[in-house]
Amino acid sequence: MGTAITVELWADAVTGPAACAAVIEEMHRIDRAMSPHKPESELSRINRDAHRAPVALSDEMFALLQRAIGFSEFSQGAFDITYAAIGRLYDYHAHMRPSEEALARARECVGWRKLLLDASSRSLRFAHEGVCIDLGGFAKGHAVDRAAALLASMGVAHATVSAGGDSRVIGDRRGRPWHIGIRDPRREGEMVAVLPLADVAISTSGDYERYFEAGGQRFHHLIDPATGRSPDGVRSVTVIAADALTSEALSKTVFVLGPERGLRLVESVPFADAVAVDALGALHFSAGLRRQ
């Protein structure tokens, strides 16, 4: 998945190592299916063939794409896995960005309504050539949720699982809450807030994860599907929700919409809250956190 996976849990000497090994294997399984970099993955097969004919999907992929389209509808396109037509034009290691002409052509291939998902045949077809999808803003949350379910099925009652900026907290820390820090987007090693949590998911999206600077602008991996550019009104967004799939999708959505519109959207989701750090470094909290 291109990120560090961590597991912390309480269990006996037999269950603990077996549970950790099961989590890592589950992460590898999901990576094998959903990596855009592995030619044999299900995601690569979709991107290779779906513009020509419907591609049969696994039950897991079908359910995930249903959720992705649901979030696109809910966010009015602020969350959109077809952003990949634009995202693949950026090379953050080489500090390369697309020309205006290339960006305009790629924008024609973006839009979740171009995903023709057929429930009867469990298949996906793209509306036309050039459309492609990337689950980078979604699959890690799914993997964390799957890992948490796996741990629970093995009798683990107190644990955390993290994949990059996405974490799932199982139970509490044996009588105390887990304390999850929100890093300062501009000062490495420092925190802007620490949240006491139990039995929730938490996801952070920041403009410091993959980026380069050119011409006084920061080009980062969080892209507005409508413009094809990196939003510059936010430095980081952290979302707490009942599951990591939701928290990850909402963190990306708030980043695109900005603090005002984004936090209003989060407040309409049951059991969800958010913290945003804007371009000036100011903190914005959703209503549920302001009341605490």
**pLDDT tens readout for residues 103-131:** 999 999 999 999 999 999 999 999 999 99
Cα radius of gyration rounded to whole Å, the chain: 19
Neighbours of 185 (CB within 10 A): 20
Helix or strand holding residue 39 (H, E): none
CATH number at residue 106: 1.10.3980.10
Average pLDDT score over the chain: 95
Give the separation between CA 136 and CA 108, rounded to whole angstroms.
Answer: 21
Helix or strand holding residue 251 (H, E): helix 244-257
pLDDT band at 164 (very low <50, low <70, confident <90, very high): confident
**pLDDT tens readout for residues 33-62:** 999 999 999 999 999 999 999 999 999 999
The verdict on 26 and 54 lying in the same domain is: no
pTM of the model: 0.95
The verdict on 75 and 23 lying in the same domain is: no
The verdict on 55 and 117 lying in the same domain is: yes
The verdict on 55 and 119 lying in the same domain is: yes
Q: pLDDT at residue 21 above 80?
A: yes
Q: pLDDT at residue 2 above 90?
A: no
Count of domains in the chain? 3
What pLDDT does 1 receive?
A: 65
Q: pLDDT at residue 292 above 70?
A: no
> What is the extent of the structural domain holding 10?
1-36+135-171
Sequence-ordered list of residues with C-beta below 8 angstroms from that of 254, at least 6 positions apart, any chain: 205, 234, 237, 239, 262, 263, 265, 266, 274, 276
